[in-house]
């Protein structure tokens, strides 16, 4: 006797095909968003380090003398 669970089911096949397509789309969107966030984070971190060193190496700005009004 053949097992009925091993027979091909076209509705199950279509459902799984659609679910696989949707999962692939969601995975690609998540990967793209993760890449954008990593790029933003590394750019910001690099900019912060550059600003830190630039401010540390630059001389302090001279203070302006204030004039008193009479």
In a domain? residue 50: yes
Domain total in the chain: 1
In a domain? residue 66: no
pLDDT of residue 36: 94
pTM, full prediction: 0.55
Domain that holds residue 30: 11-57
In a domain? residue 22: yes
How far apart are the C-alpha atoms of 45 and 51, rounded to whole Å? 10
pLDDT of residue 16: 93
In a domain? residue 63: no
69 DSSP 8-state letter: P
- Annotate 1-68 with DSSP letters as a single string: ---GGGS--HHHHHHHHHHHHHHHHHHHHHHHHHHHHHHHHHHHHHHHHHHHHHHHHSPPPPPPPPPP
In a domain? residue 3: no
Where do we find the tokens 């630039």?
Answer: 54
pLDDT of residue 30: 96
Q: From first to last of its 70 residues, what are the pLDDT tens digits of the chain? A: 788 777 888 888 999 999 999 999 999 999 999 999 999 888 888 888 888 888 888 777 778 777 777 7
In a domain? residue 43: yes
pLDDT of residue 58: 78
């Amino acid at each position: 006797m053949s097992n009925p669970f091993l027979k091909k089911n076209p509705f199950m096949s279509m459902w799984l095909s659609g679910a696989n397509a949707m999962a692939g789309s969601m995975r690609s969107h998540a990967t793209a968003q993760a890449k954008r966030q990593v790029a933003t984070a590394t750019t910001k971190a690099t900019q912060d380090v550059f600003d830190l060193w630039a401010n540390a190496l630059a001389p302090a700005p001279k203070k302006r003398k204030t004039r008193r009004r009479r």
